[in-house]
Amino acid sequence: MMHVTTIQATDQTGVKAPTRRALAKQQTRAKVLAAARRLFSEEGYEGATIRDIASVAGMSTGAVFANFTDKSDLFREIMMNDMVALADSMREATTHGNGVDDALVRMFTAGYNFYRTQLPLARAAFSVGWSPQEGPALRSSPPVQSLRDLIAEQLAKGVESGELRADTQMQLRADMLFEAYLSNYPQAIFEGWSIEDLQARSRDQIGILLAGARSR
């Protein structure tokens, strides 16, 4: 006679599965964020209203306010999510670079390309990023800091490969390169510059900022 043993799985980590209520809340937030992204991308920040966002999400305005304090809170979360995806895209672009200058140009280009299909959202994000109310907190947030760190990583690789010489100004150079990257966004999202023109400008900026660090 064959005996069948039933093995009960035990939770070794002590982590409880999310409750049905928690899952429903996550789904509601995801629907609101998706609707908000669509409207911000189509109408810009000012053109999208909480009422319209709720309508597109198929829920009441009360449901939106149950998950987000206001429209700026909703927009901020979308921006933070985008910053994480943007960092991934820029990091991937550097892997195809031929040397530090090319890696940085590819990184900058990936950043500009990221928003080209959603210009109203990009314009709103840029405006918020430079506003005196929201700007400082946004620019010092961990996702944005990861972009600064990625530039610093490329400079460190340049030192390791012998393209650049190590000096005490490398962090300053990384910060200035990040500011140069940001400085091209008005041309990218407001003035309609082509990717080729943005690449040429970025290449010039990178060349100037790294000129004093070249190995001789």
- Parts of the chain with a pLDDT under 50: 1-10
Residue 171 exposed, middle or buried by CB count within 10 Å (0-12, 13-18, 19+): exposed
3-state secondary structure of 214: strand
Fold of 19-68: Arc Repressor Mutant, subunit A (1.10.10)
Computed over every residue of the chain, the mean pLDDT equals 87
The CATH number given to 71-213 is 1.10.357.10
d(Cα 170, Cα 168) in Å, to the nearest integer?
A: 6
Provide the 10 A C-beta neighbour count for residue 210.
19
List, for residues 137-166, the tens digit of each pLDDT value.
777 788 888 999 999 999 999 999 999 999
Structure confidence at residue 95 (pLDDT): 94
Nearest to 141 by CA among 92, 72, 82, 210: 82
- Residue 50 contacts by C-beta under 8 Å, 6 or more apart in sequence? 61, 64, 65, 70, 71
Structure confidence at residue 10 (pLDDT): 46
Structure confidence at residue 20 (pLDDT): 79
Alpha helices (runs of H) in the chain, residue ranges in sequence order: 20-47, 50-57, 61-65, 71-94, 100-115, 119-129, 135-139, 142-161, 170-183, 185, 195-210
Structure confidence at residue 12 (pLDDT): 54
Structure confidence at residue 1 (pLDDT): 45
CATH 1.10.10.60 positions along the chain are 19-68
Single pTM value for the model: 0.81
CATH 1.10.357.10 positions along the chain are 71-213
CB burial string 49-65: b at 16+ within 10 A, e below:
ebebbbebbebeeebbe
d(Cα 54, Cα 120) in Å, to the nearest integer?
A: 19
Structure confidence at residue 9 (pLDDT): 45
Provide the 10 A C-beta neighbour count for residue 23.
11
